[in-house]
Structure 1
């Protein structure tokens, strides 16, 4: 669980301490290039000793590569993720000043790690078509302010497979304030094929890539493994709309005391319940349970419409319980926090109703904050309401995997 509290796991409040002076300081020209092009390359961000340390550690985890149905090292694209950073010889890059300081500068706020991922495209492994990685259904893609920090462990050249980027394709004018709590994002605009360029990434370089910037990868035509780490950091004020990927305690403890500030939530306990904080004006909907009043929700289940490694989106679970308990389904939901409930964790989402719904009475009882404090069963509900109403947080729209298979921008 997070240091500093025994109930809420939602947000780090102070990450102002620094590990050490950074060896990389971005210039105003660097910042302007990132803002205009959606990417920036920092050459030689990691030195040979650091790269060798990471290389050696990665090779001890080959049995953990995903997807397990492929037989490594047959041609393919393999992923080492989840809480593999429990290995300190991998985790050190999470808090490396040449990575987190530029990330903080470009996010314009303190960074929070949302994904620790190593990709191994084996000889003959296929490329990846053009895409951007703002994904409302994924814990690692649904923040409203995040970026990639990509470090190749070999040259990403024509033989091993270049990583192409499309300068200016992030099109931030598509992101606008919404009428409610969450920001609006217009449909992405796919750049022309000729818009992609090769930034000529070499071993140890750092590519910082905006979440909306389009990119693609070429196949590996060489006899070498094409390996790199592709970590993601979100701004501290912009939690993922689906909720964070929950790192385990070993992953958290692999970082230095100062470096642990880059992890927002961690626990060895499962997220076994999900609930919805449904707001109308200054009141919140509660349903009657065996022991009293609860937020609508219940046990979680894992949606597999778009399977991937970053478990944590339980919007489908909470939608199912809401249909059964209060006979509504919200078009989207936004993460509030993770709280202890009956020995495990409960992931709470929020949604604020407008006046456009058909006026049929809701199952349940609408409570103001005073009544919530007096009558709610679990005890964390007032804290969840306070977090939901924080004006300093920027929220996005989280959707289910099934919704995203049709059109994630439709909501």
Structure 2
């Protein structure tokens, strides 16, 4: 089989008519669906006001500095170049419909995952400045025997322009459709502490070296670029890895996760929001939004 030597993520622009109506045409939506099914990744171009994103980036970069100074701060996959960070959801100044209930994102979610998907994941991924040479292992976001159909996707909202220099995420395009949970490493006693929701003998996120070597011959990974105002959507099964940020500024992206409604139970309106509620002091201390157990109810 031939190796793809030039590869890129599919980007979906919108017309002015689509912007005014708040929804994609069927033709445009079809292109986004093709990208998701073929590549497991698509970029929705210019669907959020850049001023909203810039303001959010300033706030979250300042919050990141506080986290870096905290000696108890935990790091994503144990690599001290990246951590999960809570968006400022308690401050109305930073809450915007186009970020948290974006109509173009929800239109694709309903088309790809089925009507009324469940929104039950919210965090942000921060690639810290000046972390040259510090990358994550290629992995999937899941520690169970995942199904082989589209059941969950993550919508990443970049708060700055992403480049190779500042740690644009590495993606193995198409891996979601070709791989199974058997391509992941299995949990052992020594490997489990990094992955709190895993169970011994079941898959953990990292991909095996054998699976990577095989996939490399077919379609090597790339680091797609995207901009403020874009939303990058990936199937949860897609292999990916956080990359070093060699720039002098933090690189942050929000992460919103959506599941098929039957996967976790019946849903409500156009999107079913599931959340836990905390008092102000308890909310400040909780780390529950750094650990996501996406195991379906039938595997409990």
- Residue 70 of structure 1 and its aligned partner are, at CA, apart by 6.2
Relative distance call for 1:63 and 1:186 in structure 2 (3 A) is closer
Relative distance call for 1:201 and 1:36 in structure 2 (3 A) is same
- 1:266 maps to which residue? 276
- Residue 212 of structure 1 and its aligned partner are, at CA, apart by 0.4
- 1:192 maps to which residue? 216
Relative distance call for 1:212 and 1:124 in structure 2 (3 A) is same
Which of the two has higher C-alpha Rg? Answer: 1
- 1:88 maps to which residue? 92
Relative distance call for 1:124 and 1:61 in structure 2 (3 A) is closer
Size of the aligned set, in residue pairs, is 230
Correspondence for 1:217 among 239, 242, 264: 242
1:238 aligns with 2:263: yes
Correspondence for 1:41 among 29, 40, 43: 43
Relative distance call for 1:214 and 1:173 in structure 2 (3 A) is closer
- Residue 311 of structure 1 and its aligned partner are, at CA, apart by 6.7
1:104 aligns with 2:128: no
> Equivalents in 2 of 1:80, 1:113: separation in Å?
18
Relative distance call for 1:54 and 1:262 in structure 2 (3 A) is farther
Q: Which has the higher strand share?
A: 1
Select the structure with the greater relative contact order (CA < 8 A; seq sep ≥ 6).
2
- 3-state SS of the aligned residue for 1:170? helix
Does the CA-based 8 Å contact 2:130-2:246 persist in structure 1? yes
Q: Which has the higher helix share?
A: 2
Does the CA-based 8 Å contact 1:85-1:116 persist in structure 2? no
Relative distance call for 1:111 and 1:85 in structure 2 (3 A) is farther
Length-normalised TM-score, structure 1: 0.47
CA RMSD of aligned residues (A): 4.0
> Equivalents in 1 of 2:21, 2:260: separation in Å?
20
Does the CA-based 8 Å contact 1:103-1:208 persist in structure 2? no
Does the CA-based 8 Å contact 2:123-2:289 persist in structure 1? no
Relative distance call for 1:87 and 1:235 in structure 2 (3 A) is farther
- 1:309 maps to which residue? 290
1:207 aligns with 2:211: no
> Equivalents in 1 of 2:163, 2:296: separation in Å?
40
- 1:129 maps to which residue? 137
Matches within 5 A, 1:300-339: 309-310=290-291, 335=297
- 1:150 maps to which residue? 156
Does the CA-based 8 Å contact 2:33-2:108 persist in structure 1? no
Correspondence for 2:166 among 160, 163, 174: 160
Length-normalised TM-score, structure 2: 0.62
Does the CA-based 8 Å contact 1:150-1:228 persist in structure 2? yes
- 1:76 maps to which residue? 81
Does the CA-based 8 Å contact 2:121-2:292 persist in structure 1? no
- 2:186 maps to which residue? none
Does the CA-based 8 Å contact 1:111-1:233 persist in structure 2? yes
Q: In terms of mean alpha carbon deviation, does 20-29 or 98-107 score higher?
A: 20-29
> Equivalents in 1 of 2:254, 2:115: separation in Å?
22
